[in-house]
Amino acid sequence: MPEEVADRLMAMQQGLDGARWVPFDNFHLTLAFIGDVDPPDLRDINEALSTIDQQPFDLELNGVGHFGDRKPHCVWAGLRDTPDLTILQSSIVTALGRFGIALDRRKFKPHVTLGYLKGLSQEEVEQWRIAHALASERPFPVTEFHLYRSHMGRAGSVYEILETYPLSFSR
């Protein structure tokens, strides 16, 4: 996330006592979740992702929400699902599928996780959601995507960029 967008996301990280807020450096949009892989598979993943050919585009924040109907477990900031974002996400899934890489099959819901919840009621989370419902930001450019490795630590996940894939104007 660009710094000004990450700053806006940080400003939303309040009002839910006991939430475990995601650090500034961990804000990201998951386009495809690959899971645990063996080192030889990383070569195939890199080769597959290197085939993505798409022009840069703009994204913008689009409201907030939570996962977990009866027991909310996560709050997030939404991203407007534009045709360009849909094309990028489906191109990644298709490219990885051609290399036999199995993916998590949940429906794509563009969002940036803001915090993890434990023991908060639906009412508390709904009040937070209403307070931040109009969350928006000027569109920001998307000029690349990354392949991340996550490492579990005491304070949660730490993300390491393994590869960067620039979007190009070649089309």
Torsion of CA 131, 132, 133, 134, to 10 degrees: 120
Using alpha carbons only, what angle is made at residue 67 by residues 66 and 68, rounded to the nearest 5 degrees? 120
Query: Active site residue: 66, 73, 111, 132, which one?
Result: 111
| CA–CA distance, 64 with 111 (Å, rounded to integer) | 8
Any catalytic annotation for residue 66? no
8 A C-beta contact, residue 21 and residue 13: yes
Q: How many CB atoms lie within 10 A of CB 148?
A: 16
Any catalytic annotation for residue 132? no
| Structure tokens, 146 | 């990354």
Query: Active site residue: 28, 73, 146, 151, which one?
Result: 28
- 3-state class of 124 per DSSP? helix
Q: Provide the annotated active-site residues.
A: 28, 111
